[in-house]
Structure formats: C-alpha cells, structure tokens
Structure 1
C-alpha cells in the first residue's frame, strides 16, 4: 500500500488485483503488430508478459482523506461479478475489503465514491451481493457529468451482460 500527503489530503492506493488479463491483440485490437515490437522493451515485464504477450493491469482504488471525509476514486472489479469477457475477473473472490481495512477504511466510513468512468473495472465494489440481487453500498458520483443519471445498480446490470464484442476499439476513447 502506498500513501502520500498533498496539502491536507492524504491519498492512499489500495490494490484490488494486479496481473495478466488477456492477450494484447484482444485487448487492443487496432494496434499494429510492429507497434508492439517497437515498444516491447518498455512494456515487458510490467505491462506485458515476455512469453505469451498477455497484458498486465493493476486494479486499484485511490482513497482520499481530508477534513474528516473519506472519498474513494473508482472501486475496481468486485467479487462474484459476471465478467466473462475477462476470465481472471469472472466471478473473482478477493479480499479487497480486507485491503481497504488495512488502509483504515470500512465501507460505512466512505462518504463518496467517484467513478472516473463506467467501465466494469472501475465500478465493481459500488454494489455487493445481498441475498439474490445486487445492492448499492455508497453514494456514487460518476464523472463525466453526462453519466451521472445512472445508478450503481443500472451500471452493475449493464456490466453483467458485457461481452468482448460490445467493447469498442481502445483507440476510440
């Protein structure tokens, strides 16, 4: 866990998971092969596996604390979620809440969750399984503002039906 102080704000990085998720050509289908080769020395081993060309990513939350308030920036993938497009994330079971606790945060301590965008790897812990359905845990503010009308449950239901074919090429973002 990494922590820095910026003025009166303490910023703590809480990692949910880190590692390979899928072949680079599947994750970034519009990037030409020669670009991978040209930049290989910068990518291996932190962002790309040397032997099988799997993309490595870190899923994390940024905890901001100031003036008695606790804000989370993004909430990762979540446990038990249907994520068939990315096999390592599909119905994963990790101790994210334990890692938050090590950082001194319990879910009930969170005043606000800010989602930088609505990709499934940024909204996962906005909801948790309660009996047979998903329930929202916190008040989520989604940036940019044109997404702010969506509830955490709407986002989760959309993410549950997500498939690889629905993903737009990365270059469009």
Structure 2
C-alpha cells in the first residue's frame, strides 16, 4: 500500500514539475516577445527623432505653389509602343499642401486624371502619382521632378515606368494660371 502511495505521489510530482516547466517556457517566450516589441518601439522612436531632426522644407516656397498651374508636357524620350517623341499633353494641375506635403490634382477636360503627392527636397519638388481606381496605367510608376525657374514658372520632367519595361519621359513646363476676374 505504501508503494502505491509513493508511486501516485511520484506521478503527481512529475505532473506538477512538467506543468511548471511548461509555464516557465511560456514566460520565457512572453519575455522574449516583450523584448522584441521594446526593440521595435525603440527603433520607431529613433526613426521619428531622425525625421524630426531633418531640415524642414521652405514652407513659404511650398505655400507659394498653392493654386492652379497650366501644365504642358512634351514627350522627349520613349521606348513604349503607342507613344512617340513629340507627343504633347496639356493638363491643369492644382497644388495644395497638407502637413508639409505637397498634393497635386492633375485635371484634363475638367476631370481629375491623377493625384500626385510629394515634398520639396532642397530646391526640387519630387512627386509620385498615387494610384486610383479606373486609371489608364494602374501598374505604372509615375514620378515628377520640378524646379521653380521663375516666379510664375516651374520646369522639370515626368517619367512613366511601365511594368513591361518601357519608359516615357516628358519635359514639363508649368505656368501659373491667371486668376479669374471676379464679376458682381
């Protein structure tokens, strides 16, 4: 009888020991997860701090871009079928700003055809097209580089890189649109 009780006690002790070992492993895993989470948070804080330390763009210049610009695009380079050097397009680009970012709505025939976002980097405005439903080039990467060349004039390039490894480059000239006359 004493042997049976010792055997039962031994089994209970082994079971408790196994449970304690399992709990210990769970706690070690949680501790490791917390350590990883803390490291990720530290990296995120460092990234935010490094962004805060970057020089802020000239907000007066960014604000001066706000408004409507008449945009002329002339194709200067292409290896895409259906596109030719000399092709030209005219659009109306409306610039605005939001929290230091530049937003541009490109319109043709009174319809928004593309939206760009970007920032001023030094004296150059860098924009990237944001994809929209129903656009004609949904998989293309479209970038724009612009520089203020005169008080009412921007010049630069628009580059379209299609997924089929072809590219179209346009020379851009933007002139500030005249403000409409107010009539009473």
Q: Rg bigger for which structure? A: 2
Higher strand proportion, which one?
2
Normalising by structure 2, we get a TM-score of 0.22
Q: Which has the higher contact order (CA 8 A, sep 6+)?
A: 1
Normalising by structure 1, we get a TM-score of 0.23
